[in-house]
């Protein structure tokens, strides 16, 4: 007999917050708005409530959260070094194993960073919320 602990609603909420963070803080660093809209259409990192069945145990939810946090940490670095490629790819594979679609390669982000794309994005979090 094996005892497992179910993932908590707090963990599921944290996973949703991490996905939202990637869309609002990470993707705008690398992609234009029309590309991000296409990612939404393709359900990139989209987690329907029934997807939580794919990571319904406490351990699985922690693995998903850790993989998302690792991908974010790598992509927010000032420069993307080759030494992080294996770690990035391992975490992307982990996300896909749990049913989260993330169709990117590390090299895509390296190329975008090297091109020094700077996008003004409607997806990016506002610097302030005051309207004059």
Tell me which residues of the chain have a pLDDT lower than 50.
Answer: 49-50
CA distance 13 to 54: 15
CA distance 20 to 132: 27
Q: The whole model's pTM is what?
A: 0.80
Return the pLDDT at 122. Answer: 61
CA distance 80 to 94: 20
Domain-wise residue ranges, the chain: 9-114
Q: pLDDT by residue (tens digit) across 68-87?
A: 999 999 999 998 989 999 99
Return the pLDDT at 59. Answer: 86
């Amino acid at each position: 007999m094996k005892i497992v602990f179910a993932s908590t609603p707090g963990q599921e909420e944290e996973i949703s917050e991490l996905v939202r963070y990637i869309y609002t803080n990470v993707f705008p660093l690398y992609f234009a708005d029309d590309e991000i809209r296409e990612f939404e259409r393709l359900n990139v990192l989209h987690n329907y409530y029934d997807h939580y069945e794919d990571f319904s145990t406490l351990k699985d939810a922690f693995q998903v959260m850790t993989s998302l946090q690792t991908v974010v940490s790598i992509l927010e670095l000032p420069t993307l070094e080759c030494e992080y490629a294996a770690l990035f790819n391992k975490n992307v594979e982990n996300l896909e194993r749990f049913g989260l679609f993330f169709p990117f390669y590390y090299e895509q982000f390296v190329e975008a960073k090297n091109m020094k794309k700077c996008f003004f994005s409607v997806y990016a979090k506002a610097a302030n919320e005051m309207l004059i």
